[in-house]
Amino acid sequence: CFGGNPPSSPNGPRLASPESTTTPNPGETKDVREPAGPGLVRRGGGGATAYAVEISKQAYPYPGVKEAYLVPSYNAVDAFAASVLDGPIYLVPNTGAMPSSVAEEIRRVNPEKLYVLGGPGVISPSLPPDIDKKTERIYGSTRVETAIAIARHAFPDGADTVYVTNGLGGGDMKGSADA
């Protein structure tokens, strides 16, 4: 909702126009075309799927990753759960063709194994096509059970710290602000 005056919350971030972002100072915005800060580089543009590919190129500059992951592009909750995994995360549609940029990047990083995060109702069994990789699906019967399955994959021996969030999201299907 970038039209008109963006909503704000006394306890949360103020939504800003696409040309600006919030700063640590309440009510102050910064032009996103300015440098991000000392030692930081701002990346973005082209949509979430393209951005995920750019992150992969920066974080995994060389081929030969152990694992790579596909998450639904329309549901950020599964991508939040996947953030604990060690490997590139790519956003894909639930049906239809995989974006060519994603397929090309998967071939470039050359993972030993490709995981599809979410059941067949979330990401079509026809994905990933034309990628000659051992593929496995990690999912549960709900998004919460899928998040649990992802955590068990990431931490098979358990973890010292566990973060619990509301993954139900709102009507916009963008997930919870808690995540």
Count of CB atoms within 10 A of residue 12's CB?
9
Confidence tier at 170 by pLDDT (50, 70, 90): low
121 pLDDT more than 60: yes
Across 134-170, b (16+ Cβ under 10 Å) vs e yields: eeeebbeeebeebbebbbebeeeeeeeeeeeeebebe
What distances in angstroms separate CA 115 from CA 18, 36, 111, 149, 169, one per listed residue? 32, 33, 10, 12, 24
Residue-averaged pLDDT of the chain: 75
| pTM score, whole prediction | 0.70
58 pLDDT more than 70: yes
CA–CA separation, 11 and 1 (whole Å): 19
Confidence tier at 60 by pLDDT (50, 70, 90): very high
pLDDT for 12 = 34
Percent of the chain residues topping a pLDDT of 90: 33
Percent of the chain residues topping a pLDDT of 70: 65
Confidence tier at 133 by pLDDT (50, 70, 90): confident
23 pLDDT more than 70: no
Confidence tier at 169 by pLDDT (50, 70, 90): low
Residues 84-108 have a mean pLDDT of 90
Please tell me which residue, 63 or 16, carries the higher pLDDT value: 63
Q: State the virtual CA torsion across 23, 28, 34, 37 in degrees, nearest 10.
A: -30
Residues 136-160 have a mean pLDDT of 91
